[in-house]
Amino acid sequence: MKKETLLQLHNVSVHYGGVKALDGVDISLDEAEIVALMGPNGAGKSTILKTIFGLAPIHSGKVLWHEKEIMPISYEIVQRGIAFVPQGRRVFGPLTVEENLEIGGFIVSDKKELRRRIAEVMETFPILKQKRKSKAGTLSGGQQQMLALARGLMTDPKVLLLDEPSLGLAPKMVKEVFAEIKEVNEKHRTAIMVVEHNIKSLLNIANRGYVLDKGKVVTKGGSQKLIESRSWENGFTVTTTSFTH
Amino acid sequence: MEIVPQLILNSIIAGSIYALIALGFNFVYGATKFFNLAHGVMAAIGGYAVFYFAKTLGLNLYFAVILGVALAGIVGYGLDKFIYLPLRKRKASNMVLLVASLGAMTALQAVIAILFTSRFKTISQNIGTQKLFEVLGGVITQTQLIIILVTALILAGLVFLLYKTLFGKAVRAISDDEEVAQIVGINTNKIIGYVFFIGSALAGLAGILVGFDTGIEPTMGLGLLLKGVIASVIGGVGNIYGGVLGAFLLGFVENFGIWKISGEWKDAIAFTLLIVFLIFRPRGIMNK
Amino acid sequence: MNKLTKWVIGIIVVIAVVITGYFVSQNSSKVSTEQIKIGVVAPMSGNLAFLGEGIRDAMLLAQQDLGNTQYTYELIFEDDQLDSKITASAVNKLLGVNKVDAIVSFGSGPGNVVAPIAEQNNVVHLGIASDPNVAKGEFNFIHWTPPAEENKVFVEELQRRGIKKLGVFESNQQGAAAVMADLKEKLKETDIEIVTDQVFNVGEKDFRSIISKAKNSGAEIYLLMAFSPEVEVLGKQIKEAGINTPLTSIEAFELSEQVDLFEGEWYVNAASPTGDFTTKFEAKTNENPTLGAANAYDIFNLIVAATEAFKGSTKPTPNQIANELTTIKDFNGVLGNLSVDEDGIVISKAAIRMIKDGKPVDIDN
């Protein structure tokens, strides 16, 4: 059965002043799939996610949702069923874990449903249940990443955009995070687009991937093909040298 | 020593007035991170609105107060919608926003002076003949008692709003990271607009109460704002509790400071306290 | 040239001569068509704009009431918001751009700014100010019931009422300070003691603590040396502190919008302007004359009187006008019989008044 294409970037260019952050990029995300975005620093990977979310200035091209062009405005994109977990965790430090989750479900009008989702997410991430009354700023890096991911799930999104979810995490935590990503995809059929430097872990769970360099897509294909071609090795190295747990 | 109870009461009265201004100021600063200098003129708008509705039009005083508070809120909301928001959308720096707020303050003050003249006015119905209460060896008027009670209620109300309602949590989220607040689906510009409405309404209420206690003049907001800002810096800018703590500390230091020296030193004492905190504890008492 | 043309030219010449001769004869009584420019620096905006407007209206009224004069008199108004910093630039504009012959200022602070500038630029300056320092120098004068005159009347009244202990609340504003300095000197010659002396800044609205300090001083009467809005707020807060001791002031009470606060209290004021002036001022402005308005009216006429004393083909120099001013005695002003003393002070009388039924009334002492 052909999967429905949920999200597309069609020939999108993003300029920051004189700098072309994205140059005629074509990306798509189908329902229930995991797509990897890879490339060296400054390739434009995070910019793609920001563009979808209206956080980067589109110079030309279109963003399509269910094949219809949309003008990305952050808080409206959420209404459409797209959630974004930005780079660096960026939980609301002064708010408690529970309050972070409540805010994650800001657009959920049924408060009973919101409470149900909070309970569900706390089952998925037991550490969050333990720390529900703690201020998010007091959590460890790994716990904050869990919280950021959980917060992203509060709207029960059709599409989840993740920007470097393993950044700064210990290897054990990285494994856990990717396992959670996989579980979310399988359990909820959430389509996920992931930007990562941790290629090995990512390609193990992704269906397809794009390799970017200098704002352009240089390679794309199924993850098996990408693993075999190792094309993501050309021109950049991928390590995580610092981690938290 | 029999002067001490009265000095304590005077300090509490002054602290309450400063706290009312600081509460609204910090509420707005917390969400927007800029010093809204026009906050002071909202106090004048509230006071003059009550003057117009109650004294000129003869409306019921309580109704006039509600209208005054609402009008101050509306003007504050309008300033955000038509001046600050367009500037924020253009990624203007906080310095630009501060200058814009200074311009707004000056313009609004001038409008008030044109409409009502610059003369000092009262909105109190019973000048000099208010009911007096003896409290712990000191004397306090009915209006001053109301100011203290209202300050306590507003503080409780704001704390409830910020910590127990989704709107308040959204405000705190915006205060922490506006971009991520947008990412999770909060229309931050809409919420900030409401913040301006509430903060400005609080300033309007402060102006009304000060108007009942002393009187109103177009430039009354600037002096009040200065004290509110000093209180906020002492207590911790953007911190609701901090502003209140700073306000009462300022009130006590000012009133006890002039116990044995001339009253002319009051402003100098206030600004010395500000400088001391700016040098030794710029984040204020409550901010970590 | 034919005969007809010669006749026509001849008639035109005759007519021209007649017309010229007519205008020359008309203007022979006007030795000069020169204009005397009077620059006026007063608050036209800010809290005290109503005072500046009163001064402006009074001077325009005086200009309007002026009959035939040798010279024409132009008034140029500049706003200084009663702020000495702005006064300086306003005066420099009047001198540099408008090239005024005389300057009128309002307030002791601004007056003290104008005085040295006037002296340096040889321009006559008349200040509506109580501080005698404003009148220092050859070109400077003040028209205000001098502190010495007001204090004399005040001390006499205190003694008449048997008051021995005086409490003072004084603003640190220049005019108030000048009055208090003179009063304290005069009181030294009496058995009246100042039992409490509380000083506060202009703009202060919270007097509660200094009132607490003064409360148990044993004062039999409190002197409020302040102006609006401080005097109203002070009066209100004194009552709210439960103090029923009588209050008095020098000049401030009847300027207040809340005269009811001072119902039944006596005070010292400059003598009232004539009824005629008050009527004309009210007809022009729909308001009572404000503080300094009558002085401004008189100042205009004093300048005119000093200038008109000179008959010449050109207008008198400022030096000449200044010298002429110092000789003025028994001038019939709206503030009564005016004489200029050797210190450049235009002397007018003070009176004791009381607020009765919300209105100031003269009382005989």
How many Cα atoms sit within 13 Å of C164 on the Cβ side? 2
Nearest chain B alpha carbon to A81: B185
Residues C141 and C279 in one domain: yes
> Do residues C307 and C169 share a domain?
no
pLDDT mean over A218-229: 81
- Residues of chain B with Cβ-Cβ distance to A93 below 8 Å are 176
Instruction: Give the Cα separation of C152 and B241 in Å (integer).
Output: 55
Q: What is the predicted pLDDT for the residue at C105? A: 97
Quick check: is C338 in a domain?
yes
| pLDDT classification of C336: cutoffs 50, 70, 90 | confident
Mutate to test the interface with C, among B4, B121, B127, B227 (most CBs of C within 10 A): B127
Average pLDDT value for residue range B99-115: 94
- Mapping DSSP onto H, E and C, the string for chain C reads CCHHHHHHHHHHHHHHHHHHHHHHHHHCCCCCCCEEEEEEEECCCCCCHHHHHHHHHHHHHHHHHCCCCCCEEEEEEEECCCCHHHHHHHHHHHHHCCCCCEEEEECHHHHHHHHHHHHHCCCEEEEECCCHHHHCCCCEEEECCCHHHHHHHHHHHHHHCCCCEEEEEEECCHHHHHHHHHHHHHHHCCCCEEEEEEEECCCCCCCHHHHHHHHCCCCCEEEEECCCCHHHHHHHHHHHCCCCCCEECECCHHHCCCHHHHCCCEEEEECCCCHHHHHHHHHHHCCCCCCCHHHHHHHHHHHHHHHHCCCCCCCCCHHHHHHHHHCCCCEEECCEEEEECCCCEEECCEEEEEEECCEEEECCC
At residue C315, the pLDDT reads 85
**Residues of B whose CB is below 8 A from A90:** 177, 180
The domains located in chain A, with CATH, are 5-233 (3.40.50.300)
Contacts B2 to C, Cβ<8 Å: 216
More confident residue, C6 or A48: A48
In a domain, residue C260? The reply is: yes
- Which CATH number characterizes residue C233's domain? 3.40.50.2300
Same domain as C197, residue C112: no
The answer to whether the Cβ–Cβ distance between B264 and C261 falls below 8 Å is no
Q: Give chain B's contact residues with C (Cβ, < 8 Å).
A: 2-3, 6-7, 10, 13-14, 113, 117-122, 127-130, 132, 139, 141, 210, 214-215, 217-219, 223, 254-255, 258-259, 262-264, 266-267
Report percent pLDDT > 70 for chain A.
93
Mean pLDDT of all residues in C94-99: 94
Mean pLDDT of A71-93: 89
Residue B254 lies in a domain: no
Residue C228 confidence class, pLDDT cut points 50, 70, 90: confident
Q: What is the pLDDT of residue C120?
A: 93
pLDDT in tens, C282-334: 999 988 888 899 999 999 999 999 999 887 678 899 999 999 999 999 899 99
Residue A99 has pLDDT above 60, yes or no: yes
- CB-based contact C212 B6, cutoff 8 Å: yes
> Do chain C and chain A touch with ≥3 beta carbon pairs under 8 Å?
no
Q: Say what the pLDDT of residue C20 is.
A: 66
User: Is C239 in CB contact (< 8 Å) with chain B?
Assistant: yes
On whether residue C14 sits in a domain, the answer given is: no
The last residue of a domain, from among C240, C270, C300: C270
Nearest chain B residue to A86 by CA: give it. B180
**C124 and C153 belong to one structural domain:** no
CB-CB under 8 Å, B184 with A151? yes
Q: Side by side, which strands form the sheet with A159-163?
A: A82-85, A159-163, A191-195, A34-38, A208-213, A216-222
Is it the case that residue A237 has pLDDT exceeding 80?
A: no
B72 assigned to some structural domain: yes
Claim to verify: residue C262 and residue C151 sit in the same structural domain: yes
**Measured over all CA atoms, what is the biggest interatomic distance in chain B, rounded to whole angstroms?**
60
Q: Are residues C82 and C130 in the same domain?
A: yes
Domain of C135 in residue numbering reads as 35-145+273-348
Residue C227 has pLDDT above 70, yes or no: yes
| Mean pLDDT calculated for residue range C122-140 | 93
List the domain range (segments joined by +) for residue B30.
22-218
Residues C141 and C192 grouped into a single domain: no
Computed over every residue of chain C, the mean pLDDT equals 89
Question: For residue A240, is pLDDT > 70?
Answer: no
Instruction: Tell me if B286 is assigned to some domain.
Output: no
- Distance between first and last Cα of chain B: 38
The CA-CA-CA angle for residues C57, C59, C61, to 5°, reads 70
Q: Model confidence at B199, in pLDDT bands (50, 70, 90)? A: very high
- Examine the fold and report which residue of C215, C249, C270 is the final residue of a domain before the chain moves on: C270
**B123 vs B279: which has the higher pLDDT:** B279
The model's pLDDT over A31-74, given as tens digits with 9 standing for 90+, comes to 999 999 998 888 899 999 999 988 888 999 999 999 898 888 87
Asked if C220 and C185 sit in the same domain, the reply is: yes
- Would you call the peptide bond into C229 cis, given omega within 30 degrees of 0 as the criterion? yes
Higher pLDDT: C231 or C33? It is C231
Write the residue in B172, B173, B185 that is nearest to A75 by C-beta. B185
Residue C211, pLDDT score = 95
Query: Are residues C167 and C79 part of one domain?
Result: no
The model's pTM: 0.79
A238 has pLDDT over 50:
no
How many domains are there within chain B?
A: 1
pLDDT of residue B129: 64
Instruction: Tell me, yes or no, whether C162 and C229 share the same domain.
Output: yes
C24 within a domain of the structure (yes/no): no
The reported pLDDT for the residue numbered A158 is: 92
User: Does the pLDDT at position A141 exceed 90?
Assistant: no
Q: What are the chain A neighbours of B173 within 8 Å (beta carbons)?
A: 92, 95, 103
Alpha-helix runs per DSSP H in chain A: 45-52, 74-80, 97-104, 111-124, 126-130, 141-153, 171-188, 199-205, 223-229
Mean of pLDDT over chain B: 93
For residue B29, pLDDT over 60 is answered with: yes
Whether residue C157 is contained in a domain is answered as yes
Q: What is the mean pLDDT of residues A136-153?
A: 92
Number of structural domains (chain C) is 2
C364 within domain boundaries: no
- Tell me what pLDDT residue B236 has: 92
- Domain co-membership, C283 together with C326: yes
In a domain, C20, yes or no: no
pLDDT tens across C8-56, in order? 888 888 887 777 665 554 444 444 458 899 999 999 988 788 899 999 9
- Provide the percentage of residues in chain A whose pLDDT is more than 90: 49
Mutate to test the interface with A, among B183, B192, B241 (most CBs of A within 10 A): B183
Cα separation, B251 vs C209, whole angstroms = 11
C240 and C196 together in one domain: yes
